[in-house]
Chain A
Amino acid sequence: MSLLSDLWDPFASFGFMRRALVASITLGMGAGPVGVMLQLRRMSLIGDAMSHAILPGAAVGFLLAGGLSLTAMGLGGIVAGLGVALLAGLVSRRTHLAEDASFASFYLTSLALGVLIVSARGSNIDLLHVLFGTILAIDGPALYLMGGITTLSLCLLSIIWRPLVMECVDPGFMRMTGSRGGVYHMVFLFLVVINLVAGFEALGTLMSVGMMMVPAATARLWTRRLLPMMALSAGVGMAAGLTGLLVSYHFSLAAGPSIILTCSILYVVSLLASPTGLRAGRGASSWQGS
């Protein structure tokens, strides 16, 4: 009985806990599916790069708004993220540099620029808040923004579902049928960016990508089918949010890192427990049986 109350009380008694929980659930639902697509397209590190690329945009928004304004930083982040994606794509098409190399250069520039801008006008503390986020400080407007982003993300994903999947599996085919696979690539990157922007308010630019990638990697270990993988990824994200918040509450640990570390623990457990995880390696090299 007391275990149940330990799980229930924090959310029943405190508004900030409820809001943080809703925020994690929203983030998980939006970022999970997008993370799966990122993984399958072998763009995991590009996702990481994008989360840093949005920093100068958020920093400029911070500058113009004179403080930690959600809308300004969010809009700025989206612009910056898409800008970096476009630039990297352009450079890789015009030169012989691979897309990931271009991304690396641009995102590092972005990150440095962002730190510079925030440090110039704000204090180190503001920079810390932008980098680390505060899920416990989520208020009504922030929740609306995150909810809006998740809804938009899921809708867009379902709309471009078929061409997006085709573009991942067989980009040549998409080019062929004249459907401008490039457009879907950009829409997908837009989805990545807006989910990262949603996440960075709660978890900061350094860790919001964790909510995208780690649940996706976990889901990959349990199922081979695309839709279940996405659903599982979202589920893992949401579960990690709930658990992380409870850990932060009962053991007085920082909230954001608790959530991401819970994601990681679930991943490690999956690696060990899932038949397609570490155990698969042993089975494949066994000489016994068929």
Chain B
Amino acid sequence: MIVHRLFSLLGLCGLLSVAPVHAQARTLRAVASFTVLADVVAHVGGTHVTVTSLVPPDGDPHEFEPSPDDARQLRQADIVFMSGEGLESWFGRLAHAASYHGQPVIVSSAIQAYTPPGAQQAETDPHVWNSVPNVVIWTNTIRDALIAADPEDADSFRASASAYVTQLQALDQDIRSRISAIPADRRRVLTSHDAFGYYGRAYGVTFMAPQGLSTETEASAGNVATLIRQIHQTGITTYFMENATDPRLVQQVARATGAQPGGELYAEALSPPGGPAPDYITMMRHNTDLMVAAMRPR
């Protein structure tokens, strides 16, 4: 009799302990490699996902040096998102150091990556997110991955993803119409970072990068001179500085050509909250605003 009672009591306790878990539906711990991706994941995941980004705001996703704290976050993550296409070359080392054996979700795998002509060793351009349609593909990939990890919240994920895609499509339209308002021969932008290839191809803008002013190599006088000549010939009037390159070199080039600074573009990182690019959609609008202002005839 007493044994029966005890068992029932235990069973009740068991049920009661399980029930709250069911009623809650898990909150996934997601880790994204960098801020732009983290933002998209947050929009798709909503309240069911807490997202952290490994590369901080204003950080460089190419040249990231992970800390032990990042290793810990990676180990504790339920799901990991990466862009791929060679962007996060540091990830392998981090995963090894953190003893992370999971499989990260490569959100760019479904995207047709572009190989710029003349690139060394056929490197693909990894900056896929600067074209909005690619981020739509990201959204769908993320949605499917989240559903696989947390099937109970599938409906919620689908709804969030769908809403976000609508916003993205509106953004895409907006950018297209604004660029097409610029005369075709003025759609040129000079910027020191080469992250806008996809933007250029999607929206019809030519990006010129100062040659020899990349972050990897030290500048040679010959390259700087070539660039100045090139700018003179193409008549660019506005340039955009990037944190990564020595701003004084960019200024030097610009001064020689009479160009003006156009503000700061956010190519591969969001700004901190409160800055001009705290989330992806705002970032794209901000970049477009600045570029359109630069391209508009004076």
For A124, give its contact among B63, B222, B247 (CB under 8 Å): B63
Would B221 and A129 count as touching, CB distance under 8 A?
Answer: no
- How large, as a class, is the contact surface on chain B? 20 to 34
Would A252 and B247 count as touching, CB distance under 8 A?
Answer: no
Would B225 and A137 count as touching, CB distance under 8 A?
Answer: no
Complex Cα spacing A138 to B223, Å? 16
By Cβ-Cβ distance, the 9 closest A-B pairs, closest first, are A252-B222, A137-B248, A254-B218, A248-B221, A249-B221, A137-B249, A252-B220, A248-B220, A16-B252
- A123-B244, A139-B248, A251-B220 known; 19 new pairs, CB 8 Å cut-off, are A14-B256, A15-B255, A15-B256, A17-B225, A68-B246, A123-B59, A123-B60, A123-B243, A125-B60, A134-B248, A136-B252, A137-B251, A139-B251, A245-B221, A248-B222, A249-B225, A253-B220, A254-B219, A255-B221
Convert A107-131 into 0s and 1s, putting 1 for each residue whose CB lies closer than 8 angstroms to a CB of B. Answer: 0000000000001000111001100
Would A14 and B222 count as touching, CB distance under 8 A?
Answer: no
For A136, give its contact among B65, B219, B244 (CB under 8 Å): B219
Would B225 and A134 count as touching, CB distance under 8 A?
Answer: no
Interface size on A, residues (CB 8 A): 33
Complex Cα spacing A119 to B67, Å? 13
Residues of B at the A interface (CB closer than 8 Å) are 59-60, 63, 65, 212, 215, 217-225, 228, 243-249, 251-253, 255-256
Instruction: Determine whether A215 belongs to the interface, using a CB cutoff of 8 Å to chain B.
Output: no
Convert A225-269 into 0s and 1s, putting 1 for each residue whose CB lies closer than 8 angstroms to a CB of B. Answer: 000000000000000000001001111111111100000000000
What would be 22 A-B contacts, judged by CB atoms less than 8 Å apart?
Answer: A10-B221, A13-B225, A14-B224, A14-B225, A20-B221, A68-B246, A123-B59, A123-B60, A124-B63, A124-B65, A125-B246, A129-B246, A134-B219, A134-B249, A136-B224, A136-B252, A137-B248, A139-B248, A251-B220, A251-B222, A252-B223, A255-B219
Could you say which residues of chain A place their CB within 8 Å of the CB of B223? 252
